[in-house]
Structures are given as structure tokens and as C-alpha cells.
Structure 1
Amino acid sequence: MAFVVGNIPRGSHVVLRDGEGAQKVFFLGASCVDLRMGKYGPIPADSVLGVPYGATLRKVAGGKWERLRGGRTELTAEEAAEVIEDNRNLAQDNTAQKMTPEEVKALKGKLGGQEVVDALASSSTTFASKTKFAQEKYLKKKAQKHVQQVVLLRPTVMELCETYMKQSRNKVCGLRFDYLSSLLCHADVRSGARYFLLDCAAGLVTGAMAQQLAGCGEIFRVFRGGCPEKALAELDMVEADRKTVRQLPLEVLLSADPLSLEWLKDPFEGQPAVPDAEIEAQMALRYEARLNRTKQRRADLEALKARPVDGLIIVAGDEDPDLASEALQTGLAMLIPGGRVVVYGQHLQPVAALQGSWRASGQFVDVRLEQLFTREYQVLPQRTHPHMAAESQLCEGYILSASKVVDHSSDAPDRAEPVEQAGPRKRRRQ
């Protein structure tokens, strides 16, 4: 796994997170001029290029976006230990703020967001009498409303997983980052191994496995219809990691004559031979690209059939039960004895039924059905507690894992051969 070292370059991806926690992925291509994030104004791409990952950009007076440097926004443990007062005597009648909404709107047109927050704090009659905790909470709340700032994040697997979950959880089958890490652990994804994969989560599982292999190993990803590669493109992986992914349609594996299918058919089959001199240069390049693509597809199919795979992973949504069942049966036939098989599902009943059939078949051991519990916490001095309003469900999805075994008892002889008795044991010389 390799990351872009240094500052954010042109031609890479970046994840932007605003003050309210919303995230969005952008591609900084040659035609990218502005980045639009929620209700914020356009962010010039030049303000993002050359800035290191993890930096914060803030909109200042004049509409310019500048990098925020330094500054401490949270209390230290020593400062928090000194807080002994409370806010029980403060009136909550909305009369503490002296500035009117019209004055605040006019102030936002002249000054930057942070200056507006400072003006609101100085105009509040109760701000000075609040505790340090309450003051910090007040400033954060006003900053979310009036300060326009974004954090530039590296497009890692975890950041993309959280971004997709916030934007459209159905497109990634409701796969949280903790479930994704558990899938990789149960499937024993390691460098140098071969895996059979059905990934209906926008390529998120494929990208995570490719980074785990680090350029050594093979991932045979099967699909039907379209094969989304959104996560593979946005992870900015190196070419060695991308080459570990080999994509094959499931129909090719189920067909008795796969070479007769259009996906593997020779593009020049049935066409009259034409001398190269009579073919235009553009058409010649197009034919050559199609021929190379067909050769690569046939090589991927031969590589899959060359030897068994070490692991089988199935991640499918509610709309693809038949696809998941066919991919599971096809992958089990190619799985090596002792190989790991992992299935992720969003609902309990189909996964529990599959668990029962595996245990009754006698072809699997260590059959486990798990559900993960995750809860986010606010970690601050003297204020550490779970988030009251969680964006995701605490328990979401199920993971079924097992190891494939082969029963050779029918091939064993009825009676074991007699074992020759050993002769008298010689005494050791003292």
C-alpha cells in the first residue's frame, strides 16, 4: 500500500469535511477549477493544490480561502480541572444577545466568519459568566453556523467508507468500516494469497483487499451487469496494487463454453483480413486495444482456473440474493480445503438459514455468525460520554464465516493395516 507523499498534487483525489461533519470526495483533474461543498461558496482548486493532507482551509474576509495555522480550540486537562462553577443561574430567555439578526447579516458581509463569532461572543451578556465548558460549546455552535471551513483528508479506506455511508448507505450495502475490517480479518486477507470476491459495495471491499495484498497476490472479482469501480479510482492506488484485481463476469464462469461469449470472443473473428497499410491509424489503434483487452480477459480466466483460491468473500445487497447464491456456489467449488469463506448480509434470516445449512452439511468447521456493536464517544476532559444522536445504527449487518473441510472417510480402508510390534527395548549404556 502506497500513499501520495507530500502535498496534494494535481490528478489525485481529496476528501473534504465541513464544519457539520459532512464529507465529499473530489477529483483534482486538469479541468477542475472550483470545488463546491454544501452551502459553502466555490472553493478554488488552487487553494487545495500544494496543501498537505489534514490541513484546514477557512474562508476569510474578502471571500478568499486560506489555510488555518495553529490555534487551540479545546481545553486541556489542567484547565478543565479548575472548572467548579455551573450555569444554573443563567437565564434562557433569548435576551442575552444584544445584536439583531439584521446587524449579524450586515456584519457577515464585511468580516470573516471567525470575526463574526468573536463579535457575537462579545455582545452576549451571559458569555463571560458561563463556565469554560459552556463557552467552548457556545463558540463551536456559532462557528458551525457562521464559519466556512473544510478539512482536507486523504482518501483512505476508512474515510471513503464513512463518506459513502453518509451519502448513500444502500450503494455500499450498509457496510460500516468496522464490518469491513472484520471481513478482512475473518477472510485472512494477506499478501501472496488468492481470493474469490463478489463486491456489490462500489468496489470498497476490492480496494481494501488490494491495499492489503500490497501488489503480491490475486483478487478475482466476479460481477453481473455493471462492475462499479468508484472506490478503486478514488483510493489513488499505485499500479502494482491495481494489477492484483482481475474482474470476471459470473456468466463466463458458469458457461460450458466461455470462449463463445461476447466478453471473450476475438474481435477479429469472422472479419476479412485487411492489410495494415489500408487501415487508418486511428482504427488500427482501436483494434489493437480491443485485441489486448480480450487477451487480458482470457489470461484472467486462465489464472483463476489454474489453481484453487485461498479465500471466498461475498458482499451483496438486498437486491442481489440470486447473484450472491450463484457466486457463493461457484466460489466454494474453487476454494481450497481449509480456506476461509465469509458472507456479509444486512438481514438475519437469510444469513442464519445459510449458517444452519453449513453446520448440517459437515463441509465446514468454525461456523460463526456475528453482529458488531459500535458506538461513537465524545472524548473531552470531564465530558466523555457516548454521542446522544448517532448517525448510524448501533448494530447493522451480520457476518457469517467458516472454514471449508473435505471428508475423506469414505476413501479410507475398512481396517487399518496391522502395526509391527517393536522389539525389546535396549538398555542405554551408562
Structure 2
Amino acid sequence: MAITPTTAAGSTKPTIVPVTTTTDDIEEEFPHIRENQYVLIHMPSGNVKMINLKPKSQVSLGKFGTFSSDNLIDKPFGLSYEIYDQKGNIRPVRNWALATVEETNANNQNILDNADVQKLTHEEVEKLKQEGLKGNMKHDEIINKIIESHSEFDKKTEFSKAKYIQRKRKKFMKVFTPVRPTLYSLAQFFFTKNPDKIKSMRVDTLSQIISLANVHANSKMLVVDDTQGLVVSAVAERMGGYGKIVGIHDGDHQNYDVMRYMNFSKRILESVHTIPLSKIDPNEPEEEFVPRSEEEVAAMSEGELRGYERRQKVAAAKAETRKLFFDGGFDGLIISSQYTPETVIKALVPYLSGSRRIVVYSHSKEVLLEAAHYMRKSTEYLAVDITESNLRQYQVLPGRTHPEMTTSAGGGYILSAIKIIDCPFDMSQVYSESNARRKKRRSEKQQKKKDEKALEDKEQTTEEKEKTLEEKPVEEVQKETDDKMDTKEDDVPTTA
């Protein structure tokens, strides 16, 4: 057995994992497509489709054709495949990206861009498409015929030719690329297809959240996730199954839909624990599970026994999660909730360890301002800041590198802070609305100056007296001393 190193105070105990290599470890290191797995299909048009690869089924890609799922199982991710016949057979293809073009002085000013430049009629083009769908013609042959029938093609610049060929490839090619669902690919997929599902959280914003929260293996994280599991999936992927994640959700049952697309191993899934928001109140009574006696269990039917064991397992998991939450000692708090951030922070910060990060996400900056104002006034937080990240994609091609013309308007805002533990025994450190700390420091400085001034005056007075005594004659000093002694004798009361 191997034991992972211990972490800082407040972290969970080291996770013990077997040294022997498991099937999940092999599949994570050398990923291949498996049956009943979710796969992202990148099509020639640039669209992305999510499929569940069930065995002995047909996968339709619309106008690009249909293929058998069995032909894709056990194939590696990332390779491009071509559908070459009507039976749904596929084969790997070489890289079909744009080739390097040479710069020329040609331009497009003499090109007549209208329907007359294409000699093929609409019926002939449709016939070529049908031949391609039947597998009688390759997509390269179709594209070459269209190029040959274009009367103005030779007048185009090399860049225009490359763009024209690329457009035709996107239209006629039956090539697709299966991509493994990862945090990056899924964040991009949902941000493009359904941004409301993930609260318009862009992939660069998500990476900032994971970085600011200091998510790492063997940590204990507290997550409030209303992005249907995107944030919890990001934390789970970063931790890799080592540590504990407590996810707080609205409603009785969690809705972490994104997690099922990640194809997580059993070890990672077991590290995620969920608890409803209504159950985080310590005064809320715990649901009790009444176990049956051995005689009652023996008398159950097979269906009743399965239901009893399932309820028993669910009750044990709820009790474990509740204990894990109330034990506290979390290493980080991530919030992406529909509720007011200030109320959520006040309810959950007591369970966070000291010197740990708090990260709050919202698509609107105004939602975070009130929470930031509260945290800046409190003595429990440091480095309170609201940030916004910017992402701009570039097209990188030889001689054609430039930023893309369209991009997203924004990816949300992040409020981050560090929780600190103030000294509970020093009452002078307690915060007050009159800014008592600053006044105390100012008064301490003033008192110190007064003490130094008094000490200097005392020393100066002593020196002056000694100097005066040295200057006076001995007879005068003796006379003054005798006078003082006579005065003291006169003041002593006489006895009867």
C-alpha cells in the first residue's frame, strides 16, 4: 500500500490507494473510446455534438452521414475518421487542415462572383452529393470536380483558393473527430451551446476560480454549485479522487448533470459528497433510519430486500456527509449560487479553516459589490478583490494570424478573499464602527511620545539641580540644610 503525504492543518487524512495499477488508471493514462461512454464529436462544419456511445447502435451526424458505434469503440481519441460507405464503416484519415500557401501579388478585383462562374448546375451538384453519401465517390473527387468547373478559380489569390477549398470541405467531407470530454472541452461546449446552463461561466474564468481557490490533491473543499455540476467537476478533476469534496445544492437532490459527461472513475465519484442547503442548519434533526431485525430481513422478498439495502446505503451516505460538513476544517470555499453571496458566506465561513481562500462567482458585478463591502469592513478577511478575466482567440495560420472577429462579451466576475482567524482573547483587536484599531495605534504612539518627553524633562531637571549644588559654596549649602532640619523639628508635635 502507498500513503500520500500529509497536508497542512485542517486538511483531510491522507488517502490510501493500492499500488497495483487498476483499469481506471490505465484508461486515464491511455484513453480509448469505451462503450456507454460520452464522446464529443467535432464535425467538418465546426459544430460539436455530444453522444452516448451505446454498442450495436447507429450514430447519425445529419448530412455528414451515419456510422456504427461498434466501429468507434476501442479507437483512440483525437484521430479524424471518414465515413466511406453506406454501411457506416469508418477509417482514419490524414490531417486535412489547410496547407501552407505562398504569398503572391494577385488580387480578386477582376473576379466576377456570381452564379455564372460555376458551370455545374444545382442538379449536378446534388447528384455528386448522393454519390458521396453512397460511397461511390470520395469527397476529394467531388471537391476537385467543383473546382474544375469554377471558371474564375485560377484568378483567385492563394489565400482565396485556400478559403474556397476549406468551405467546400466543410460542406462535402464526411470526416469527424471524436474528442475526450475534459473540463476544457465541456466548458467550451456548454458555453457555446447553452450558456445559461452553466451561468455563462467561460473556461478562462473557471480556470481562475480553480487557481484562486488553491484546489489540490488531499484537500477538503466546500462547493456551492448552481452551474449543474461544472464547478464540482472542475474541482474533482483537479483533485483526481484524493481528498474530499462537499457539494451544497438547492433542493432535495443534486443536479450535477455535467458530471455524467466527464466519464469519471469510481474513485473520483466516491470523493464527491452532496448535502442539501436545507440540511446545513445544526439545529435541523438528522433523518433516522430504523434498521429491521434479522427475522424481518429474512422474510423480505427479493425486491423488498433490494429497496431496503438501497435505503440503508443512502441513509449511511447522508450521515457521513453531514458529519463531514459539521466537522469543518475545509481548505477552500467556492460559491456559484443564485442566492445573495453575503448570506451564503456568513453561513459557511465558520466551517472554513484559517488562511484559506474564498472564491465567489457571479455573471453580474453588482451582485458581488455588497459582499465585497461586507468583507472589507470585517476583520475576518484579507485581500478582498473583484476581478474579471478576458479571453480573445486567435487564428494562427501561415501569413494569416489575426484575432477572431467575434468573441464573447464577458465571462463573469470573481470575488476572492482570504479568511483569517483574529485573536479571540485580545479585546483590543475587536472591530468597532469607530475604527478602534486605528485609534488605539494612534493613542499608543502619542503616549509613547509623552513618556519619552517626561523622561527627558526629568533627566534635565536632575542635571540642573546637581549643577546648582556644585556652584553653591559649602557654607551656604550647610546653612540651608540646618534650616530645613530646624523646620522639621518645629513641626513635630510635643507630648503632654
Q: TM-score range by the shorter chain?
A: 0.7 to 0.9
Match of 1:425 in 2: none
User: Does residue 185 of the first structure (1) align with residue 211 of the second (2)?
Assistant: yes
Report the equivalent of 1:401: 416
Question: Scaled by the length of structure 2, what TM-score is found?
Answer: 0.75
Whether 1:220 aligns to 2:220 is: no
- SS state of the match for residue 207, structure 1? helix
What is the CA–CA distance in structure 2 between the aligned matches of 1:232 and 1:72, rounded to whole Å? Answer: 33
Tell me the distance in 1 between the aligned counterparts of 2:200 and 2:347: 25
On the 8 A contact 1:22/1:166 being kept in 2, the answer is no
Question: Which has the higher Rg, Structure 1 or Structure 2?
Answer: 2
The residue identity in structure 2 corresponding to 1:150 is: F
- Tell me what 1:424 maps to: none
Residue type at the aligned position of 1:35: V
Determine the structure 2 residue equivalent to 1:332. 349
- Report the residue type matching 1:403 in the other structure: I
Where does residue 388 of structure 2 map in the other structure? 371
Return the match for 1:350 from 357, 367, 373.
367
For 1:165, which of 191, 200, 210 is the aligned residue? 191
1:341–1:402 CA contact under 8 A, matched in 2: yes
TM-score, normalised via structure 1 length: 0.86
What is the CA–CA distance in structure 2 between the aligned matches of 1:254 and 1:169, rounded to whole Å? 32
CA 1:4 to 1:49, structure 2 compared with 1: closer, same or farther past 3 Å?
A: farther
Confirm or deny: 8 A CA contact 1:10 1:29 kept in the other structure. yes
User: Between Structure 1 and Structure 2, which shows a larger proportion of helix residues?
Assistant: 2
SS at match of 2:357: strand
**Mapped partners of 2:49, 2:67: distance in 1:** 13
The letter for the 2-side match of 1:388 is M
Q: Taking structure 1 as reference, are residues 361 and 293 closer, same or farther at Cα in structure 2, changes over 3 Å only?
A: same
Q: Give the % identical residues.
A: 24
Q: Which one of the candidate residues 34, 37, 55 is aligned to 1:12? A: 37
SS of the aligned residue for 1:254 comes to coil
The alpha-carbon deviation at position 325 of structure 1 amounts to 5.0
Count of aligned residue pairs for this structure pair: 400
- Establish whether residue 85 from structure 1 lines up as the match of residue 106 from structure 2: yes
Q: Which ranges of structure 1 fall in alignment gaps of 5 or more residues?
A: 417-430
Counterpart secondary structure, 1:137: helix
SS in 1 for 2:115: coil
Q: What is the DSSP-based 3-state SS (H/G/I as helix, E as strand, rest coil) of the residue aligned with 1:362?
A: coil
CA distance in 2, matches of 1:265, 1:39: 56
Distance (whole Å) between structure 2 residues aligned to residue 178 and residue 218 of structure 1: 24
Q: Is the 8 A contact 2:382 2:420 kept in 1?
A: yes
Deviations 1:160-179 (A, max 9, x none): 11111122110111111111
Letter matched to residue 262 of structure 2: L
**Higher mean C-alpha deviation, range 181-190 or range 325-334:** 325-334
- Cα deviation per residue 1:7-45 (whole Å; 9 max; x = unaligned)? 312132211111222222222235x61223355443321
In structure 2, how many angstroms separate the alpha carbons of the residues matched to 1:97 and 1:329? 69
**Is 1:155 matched up with 2:142?**
no
What amino acid does structure 2 have at the position aligned with 1:21? G
1:199-218 CA distances to partner (integer Å, 9 max, x unpaired)?
11121111111121122211
- Does the C-alpha gap of structure 1 residues 153 and 184 become closer, same or farther in structure 2, counting only changes over 3 Å? same
Task: Give the letter aligned to residue 272 of structure 2.
Answer: V
Range moving further from structure 2, 99-108 or 232-241: 232-241
Alpha-carbon distance in structure 2 between the residues aligned to 1:413 and 1:199? 38
Secondary structure of 1:340's aligned partner:
strand
Q: How does 1:106-255 map to 2 (within 5 A)?
A: 106-111=127-132, 112-225=138-251, 226-255=253-282
* Partner Cα distance (2:83, 2:313) in 1: 49
Shift of 1:305: 2.0
In 1, the alpha carbon distance for the partners of 2:95 and 2:177 equals 15
* CA displacement 1:64-108 (0-9 Å, x = unmatched): 4423422453233xx43x434332322223322110111101121
For residues 335 and 213 of structure 1, the distance between their equivalents in structure 2, rounded to whole angstroms, comes to 18
Deviation, 1:255, is: 4.9
3-state SS of 1:321 partner? coil
Partner of 1:423: none
Name the stretch that deviates more: 378-387 or 103-112: 103-112
CA distance in 1, matches of 2:219, 2:143: 55
Alignment of 1:253-272 (within 5 A): 253-259=280-286, 264-266=287-289, 268=291
What amino acid does structure 2 have at the position aligned with 1:52?
Answer: P
For residues 172 and 120 of structure 1, the distance between their equivalents in structure 2, rounded to whole angstroms, comes to: 43
Change (3 A) 1:221 1:109: same
Q: Which residue of 2 aligns with 1:284?
A: 305
In the alignment, is the contact (CA less than 8 A) between 1:173 and 1:201 conserved in 2? yes
Instruction: Determine the structure 2 residue equivalent to 1:427.
Output: none
2:60 maps to a residue whose letter is R
Counterpart Cα distance in 2 of 1:145 and 1:75: 18
Q: Which amino acid aligns with 2:43?
A: D
Bigger mean CA deviation after superposition, 196-205 or 180-189: 196-205
Alpha-carbon separation, structure 2, partners of 1:351 and 1:278: 58
Q: Secondary structure at the match of 2:97?
A: coil
Amino acid corresponding to residue 265 of structure 1 in structure 2: E
Q: 8 Å contact 1:188–1:311 — kept in the other structure? A: yes
Tell me the SS of whatever aligns to 1:279. Answer: coil
1:150 counterpart SS class:
strand
Instruction: Decide whether the 8 Å contact of 1:57 with 1:65 is kept in 2.
Output: no
Cα distance change on mapping 1:137 and 1:306 into 2, 3 Å: same
Change over 3 Å in CA distance of 1:123–1:288 after alignment to 2: same
State the SS of the aligned residue for 1:374. Answer: coil
CA contact (8 A) 2:342 2:371 kept: no
Q: Is the 8 A contact 2:220 2:330 kept in 1?
A: yes
Which residue of 2 is the match for residue 428 of structure 1?
A: none
Selected match of 1:58 from 82, 100, 113: 82
State the shift of 1:267 in Å.
5.2
Residue 405 of structure 1: how far off its partner (Å): 1.6
RMSD: 2.5
- What is the match of residue 94 of structure 1? 115
Distance in structure 2 (CA, Å) of the matches to 1:237 and 1:210:
9
Give the letter for the 1:83 counterpart. T
Compared CA separation, residues 302 and 409, structure 1 to 2 (3 A):
closer
Aligned to 2:16: none
- The answer (yes or no) to whether the contact 1:267–1:290 under 8 Å persists in 2 is no
Q: Please, which of 65, 74, 87 is the counterpart of residue 98 of structure 2?
A: 74
